[in-house]
Structure 1
Amino acid sequence: MLHTVNKSSFERNSLKSCINTIDDTSVILLIEDGVISATKNINSSMIANLANQGRVYALQGDVEARGVSSKLVDNIKLVNYTGFVDLVVEHGTSVSWV
């Protein structure tokens, strides 16, 4: 299952709720302000383990728009809009955490 998170972990608990809910086959795509949660900060431990497993993606355009490209947690995979669509197709079901 694909889980999209569009809010920063500084703004809402969406990412934490998502991580507490997902199973071992799920992946997370951070979009919009959610990409701020992909940066190395006080909350980065929440996604570091999943990123090391190759299960965290971030929308490249949103990362660049927020100027956080050089601050990302290691192993976050960047995708463009085509990659976003590919993830939706690959995982079949998606859940949006707002």
Structure 2
Amino acid sequence: MPTVTLSKVRAPGFVTIRRGGPLTDADHHLLALWVASCAEHVLGLFESAQPDDPRPRQAIRSRAAPLAWPPPRTSLHHLYLTAHPRAGVLAT
């Protein structure tokens, strides 16, 4: 799997108030659910390009599952790091 380097700069509109941004934890949670819902709409494209890679489906499923909120930051980064590189497969 390719190594992914995350930018130290965060999109300011997607940061919670407790980290200096404009979003409440509840709004951040709703945003994450919306992102998972959007990702479900294109999941078939990912799976047709990479049928043996279960990570995008697992990431969506874990986001939609009931969780303690806020989830541990490390689990969100893990989901991002495993699902995000798959998007590059469709772009090439």
Give TM-score scaled by structure 2 length: 0.30
User: Which of the pair is proportionally richer in helix?
Assistant: 2
Greater strand share, structure number: 1
**TM-score calculated relative to the size of structure 1:** 0.28
Larger relative contact order, structure 1 or 2 (CA cutoff 8 Å, min sep 6): 1
